[in-house]
Chains A and B, each alone.
Chain A
């Protein structure tokens, strides 16, 4: 199972053909539906471990990620970051890992809560992506994959989300 976290409108989902992907292989999280930011309380680590304390539909992002083999991000290229809405979903997903630290490859990271492999991939779209933005985005995706104790799948850049489906095929 793959989890697609995206910032596409209904129209963009249709025009890209992503809405026809088989439901038994793909699950979707539409970041445009999120409207509460992480308040930095660590409640998802220390009060209700594994769950965000904000009771909206993004409360159980950690558990949702634990149910899939691959996370694919589809986000508007935003200065080398994911768009704010996609980043918000990721900020609200930190319960996927434990608060506890461990040293991996000489660097501090979080211990896994769910002992399982995870692939992490991203597609950035946008009309005027600069080389510097591309480099930053690659670095960001790489860091995310390492911190989730996963592996990197692919990082792609394209002008429009209409071309995303080819990458997923």
Chain B
């Protein structure tokens, strides 16, 4: 049976058209874009085209605002470190406590280095408190970095409004839009966003290519210094094949935006409704009313996510989990904990993330396969009896150490 891939927030398959566009750049168009000869200038032209394709998807005003990087993580690091370096009189970073590790781990390190990091809290549905945010905007803040959409729950943050507020106080605003780009319309020229990160492999381009959008006029310091590539803002010979691939992927994403927000959304909703109606003691996490069209994150109580994934994998279904066990840490997903999801549920969260390649038949099969898997694991769980959770799970099962 054909495997069903529902882990598109982790990574996506390259679109065949992307691969096809890339191939000549490994063979006949192998030149270095910086060279004067014909080998180089062909590549130079291709990079220019790709830049304008990215520009179009982001709605950026100038194509020179697009800087190619090696990945979303590099874009994130570049943005935050640049803001701190360029404004040494400012020592504070504002972010949220549900960011991707690309931001959070960097911020933890910055704290050790002596910077001040404010992490905005989120409520049960993963929403930030805009009043708390306003109260933190002061003249020691170097940069605000808030994700456009959360990778685990798909929850969308009001980054356009937040950027307006930051801008009014003269504070730089960066958004990690790795999950949002290609899934929801973005028009940067009509916002006050100064910097934005995207990653190719989340929108059917290859892994290892990213973009940092840098608004014209925004103060900047490069992370990698060296040659004059990307106007000296990101040294290192361009990954021309991947850049060309990303350009094509951006163009395809523009074409698919409508499908993403109609067909994909409908399939996601069908999947979620199908599971919630058949399985007791489970609930969707995050802000269901305002999230990416492709993401559904469901907490299955009293069981643990890795087991669910292994059994799903056995029947050819790929998803992901926020359980501690899948990451090797002692704590379940920081996003689930930030929303106050109890441990008995946080360990059993499963994320299904769709793409335009998923079909109705696939979704129907998932709706049929998941309920028996949940039932099978609950039968093993000390928190579960025949009919439902044991009367008082926390008391009925009180381990000797906790």
Q: Do A and B come from one complex?
A: no
A residues with CB within 8 A of B: none
